[in-house]
A and B are shown apart, each in its own frame.
Chain A
Amino acid sequence: MLVVEDEMMLLIMIEDMLSDLGCQSVSVAATVKQALALVGTRPFDIAMLDVNLNGEMSFQVADALVSLHVPFIFSSGYGADALTSKYYDRPLLRKPYSYHDLENVLQRVCADGTGGRRRV
Chain B
Amino acid sequence: MLTIDKKSRDQIVAEACVEEFRKKLGPFVVAVERTRMAMVFTTAKQPDNPIIFANDSFLKLTGYARDEVLGQSFNALIGHASAPDILGKLKSAFGDDNEEILESTCNRRDGSVFWAAILIGPVRDADGNIVQNFISFNDLTKHKDELAQSRMFIDELNHRVKNTLSTVQSIVSQALRATNDPLVIREAIEARLFALSRSHDLLSQEIWKGAELNGLLTAALEPFQDASRKSGRFVITGSKIHLSPKVTLALGMAFHELATNSVKYGALSLESGSVSVDWAMRQTPNGERLIIRWQEKDGPVVGLPSRRGFGSKLLERGLAHELDGNVDLQYRSEGVLCTISFIVPKDDRDE
Question: B-contacting residues of A (Cβ < 8 Å)?
Answer: 6-13, 16, 28, 30-31, 34, 52, 54, 77-79, 94-96
> Please, what's the 1-or-0 string for B159-186, where 1 marks a CB less than 8 Å from any CB in chain A?
1001101110111011001000000000
B162 contacts A30, CB within 8 Å?
A: no
B166 contacts A8, CB within 8 Å?
A: no
Partner of B250, one of A8, A16, A78, A95: A8
The residue of chain A having its C-beta at the shortest distance from the C-beta of B160 within the complex is A77
B314 contacts A12, CB within 8 Å?
A: yes
Q: How far is the CA of A79 from the CA of B246 in the complex (A)?
A: 20
Q: How far is the CA of A77 from the CA of B318 in the complex (A)?
A: 19
Chain B: minimal CB distance from A33 (Å): 9
Asked whether any CB of chain A lies closer than 8 Å to the CB of B313, the reply is: yes
> Please, what's the 1-or-0 string for B97-113, where 1 marks a CB less than 8 Å from any CB in chain A?
00000000000000000
Partner of B162, one of A11, A13, A77: A77
Chain B: minimal CB distance from A78 (Å): 6
A8 contacts B318, CB within 8 Å?
A: yes
Asked whether any CB of chain A lies closer than 8 Å to the CB of B19, the reply is: no
B319 contacts A30, CB within 8 Å?
A: no
The residue of chain A having its C-beta at the shortest distance from the C-beta of B247 within the complex is A54
Chain A: minimal CB distance from B143 (Å): 24
CB-CB under 8 A from A11, the residues of chain B are 318, 321-322
A10 contacts B170, CB within 8 Å?
A: yes
B155 contacts A78, CB within 8 Å?
A: yes
Q: Which 8 A-B pairs have the closest CB atoms?
A: A8-B318, A77-B162, A13-B170, A8-B322, A9-B170, A9-B167, A96-B166, A96-B165
How many residue-residue contacts, CB under 8 A, span A and B?
Answer: 70
Asked whether any CB of chain A lies closer than 8 Å to the CB of B150, the reply is: no
Given contacts A8-B314, A9-B253, A13-B169, contact A95 B321 (CB under 8 A): no
Q: Is the interface of B mostly helix, strand, loop or mixed?
A: helix
Greatest chain A CB density within 10 A among B163, B165, B310 is at B163
CB-CB under 8 A from A6, the residues of chain B are 321-322
Q: How far is the CA of A13 from the CA of B322 in the complex (A)?
A: 14
The count of chain B contact residues (Cβ–Cβ below 8 Å) is 26
Given contacts A12-B170, A16-B173, A16-B177, contact A28 B321 (CB under 8 A): yes
Q: How far is the CA of A62 from the CA of B326 in the complex (A)?
A: 27
CB-CB under 8 A from A12, the residues of chain B are 170, 174, 310, 313-314, 317-318
Q: How far is the CA of A30 from the CA of B41 in the complex (A)?
A: 62
Chain B: minimal CB distance from A23 (Å): 16
CB-CB under 8 A from A78, the residues of chain B are 155, 158-159, 162
Partner of B324, one of A10, A16, A30, A96: A30
Chain A: minimal CB distance from B348 (Å): 11
CB-CB under 8 A from B165, the residues of chain A are 95-96
Chain B: minimal CB distance from A6 (Å): 6
Q: How far is the CA of A6 from the CA of B126 in the complex (A)?
A: 74
CB-CB under 8 A from B159, the residues of chain A are 52, 77-78
Q: How far is the CA of A78 from the CA of B162 in the complex (A)?
A: 8
A-B contact pairs, 28 of them (CB 8 A): A8-B253, A8-B314, A8-B318, A8-B319, A8-B322, A9-B166, A9-B167, A9-B171, A9-B253, A10-B166, A10-B167, A11-B318, A12-B174, A12-B318, A13-B169, A13-B174, A30-B321, A31-B324, A34-B324, A52-B159, A54-B246, A77-B162, A77-B163, A77-B166, A78-B155, A78-B159, A96-B166, A96-B169
